Amino acid sequence: MVQVLICPTTVTLMLLLSTLPVTLTGNNTLKCSTGKIPVSAGDDVILQCRLEPPISAESIRIEWTRPDLLPCIKGSVHTHEDGRFLYEEQIPSYNNRSSLFVDQLINGNVSLKVSRVTPSDTGKYRCYLPSINQEAVIELSVGHDGFVPPDSFMEHKPVEAVVGSDVILPCVSTFNINVNDHILEWNKDDEEIYTVQDRRGSTQVDDYKDRTSVSIEEFKKNNVSLKLSGVKETDKGDYCCCIKLGRDNIKCTKVTLDVTKERKQHEDKQQTKTEADSIGSLVGIVAVCLVAALVGFVLWKYRRCDRRRTDKPNMDWNLSTNVKRAQLLNLDV
């Protein structure tokens, strides 16, 4: 380790600077390294971030969090406020592994050092400074000997269900899980609604008793999807599917469930809308036809009348001649 020698004048200067009132203008921006940072398991890594132009970040709140773990894993990777590290806010898996360069905060260096990284450290890291409303995200990728692990869980869309139906909340891991060694936890709103340990499933919350299950056969294939029966409106929300691989190694993914009262309510609305539309256009067509027919009739009638008027003498003549002819033939007309 490099011995850091600080001369008294620097100390006085630093003390002087730190006692100066910090004026935070809207002009200070947070500049962080961009792109995915690849690192090997076991190494230490520095997630680089600094304020520009440099101002002291000693007394402001500095939050380093993992947004991709929320709401499943709460807490921060490292939070610093009023010159101290808030240990109580830290995610346990980062205990004793995170640090800021405290002596560099005065220069606006808010970089985070994470020591002895593990593959589960892979993900997004957000640096947020609430007082100046600045944030930035850095991606870290931890692999063994340069191997970069894929995402921990298969991608899925939010799930939709109708009240009273059964639904599968998908959770399939891309890493190997072992039904004998690993613990599965399904949580909702911080409550354990279903757990599987030593091949045995159990429910902690009454509301989910007899309504939740995970297939052990599927579990062996890394599929720990939760079957939820008799869906209620209150089942709506975010669920966390967590797999405990070890004491401080937990992997979670979020599954969002949306509950509707009636089947395909949205589609029905769409259908009635298109029906209404077609009725509307049908009415329109009929109206156009009626108008056309009316116009045609009027024209025809008008022409007929017109013709009649011109034909009248002829007809009269015809009639009279006919009458005459009839009279000649002595017939009753």
Ligand X SMILES: *[C@@H]1O[C@H](CO)[C@@H](O)[C@H](O)[C@H]1NC(C)=O
Pick the closest to residue 164 from 113, 119, 230 (CA basis): 230
Cα distance between residue 29 and residue 46, in whole Å: 19
Would you count residue 122 as binding ligand X (CB under 6 A)? no
Question: For the stretch 20-54, what's the b/e string if a residue is b when 16 or more beta carbons lie within 10 angstroms of its beta carbon?
Answer: eeeebeeebebebeeeebebebeeebebbbbbeee
Region near ligand X per CB under 6 A, out of 104-112, 249-257, 263-271, 309-317: 104-112
Stretch that binds ligand X, among 13-21, 220-228, 251-259, 280-288 (CB under 6 A): 220-228
Stretch that binds ligand X, among 36-44, 101-109, 173-181, 282-290 (CB under 6 A): 101-109
Contact call for residue 168 and ligand X (CB under 6 A): yes
Among 98, 173, 212, 225, binds ligand X (CB under 6 A): 225
Pairing of strands 98-100, 112-114: antiparallel
**Size of residue set near ligand X by CB under 6 A:** 19
Q: Can residue 306 be called a binding residue for ligand X (CB under 6 A)?
A: no
d(CA 176, CA 174): 7
SS3 160: strand
Least separation in angstroms between CB 293 and ligand X: 59
295 burial type by CB count under 10 A (0-12 exposed, 13-18 middle, 19+ buried): exposed
Q: Quick one: which of 56, 99, 109, 197 contacts ligand X (CB under 6 A)? A: 109
Q: Which of 3, 9, 27, 176 binds ligand X (CB under 6 A)?
A: 27
Question: Least CB distance from residue 2 to ligand X, whole Å?
Answer: 10
Work out how close the CB of 147 gets to ligand X at its nearest, in angstroms, rounded to a whole number: 24
Residues with Cβ within 8 Å of 7's Cβ and at least 6 positions away in sequence, in order, are none
Q: In the range 28-87, which residues lie near ligand X by CB under 6 A? A: 46, 48, 50
Interaction between residue 227 and ligand X (CB under 6 A): yes
Cα three-residue angle 144-148-152, rounded to 5 degrees:
105
- Is 26 among the residues that bind ligand X (CB under 6 A)? yes
**Binder among 111, 173, 187, 212 for ligand X (CB under 6 A):** 111
- Residue 215 interacts with ligand X (CB under 6 A)? yes
**Amino acid at position 243, single letter:** I
The candidate with the shortest Cα–Cα distance to 33, out of 46, 43, 23, is: 46
Based on CB atoms, which residue is closest to ligand X, 221 or 232?
Answer: 221
- For ligand X, the closer of residues 153 and 188 by Cβ is 153
- The full length of the chain comes to 333
First to last CA, the chain: 136
For residue 137, the one-letter residue type is V
CA torsion sign for 173, 140, 121, 239 is negative
Nearer Cβ to ligand X, position 61 or 227?
227
Cβ nearer to ligand X, comparing 127 with 240 = 127
The window from 9-17, 19-27, 67-75, 284-292 that contacts ligand X (CB under 6 A) reads 19-27
Closer Cβ to ligand X, 95 or 133, answer by number: 95
Determine which residue in the list 25, 176, 314, 330 makes contact with ligand X, applying CB under 6 A. Answer: 25
Q: In this complex, which beta carbon is closest to ligand X, that of residue 76 or of residue 225?
A: 225
Dump strand ranges (E) for 182-230. 183-188, 191-197, 200-202, 212-213, 226-228
Interface with ligand X (CB under 6 A): 25-27, 46, 48, 50, 95-96, 101, 104, 109, 111, 168, 172, 215, 218, 223, 225, 227
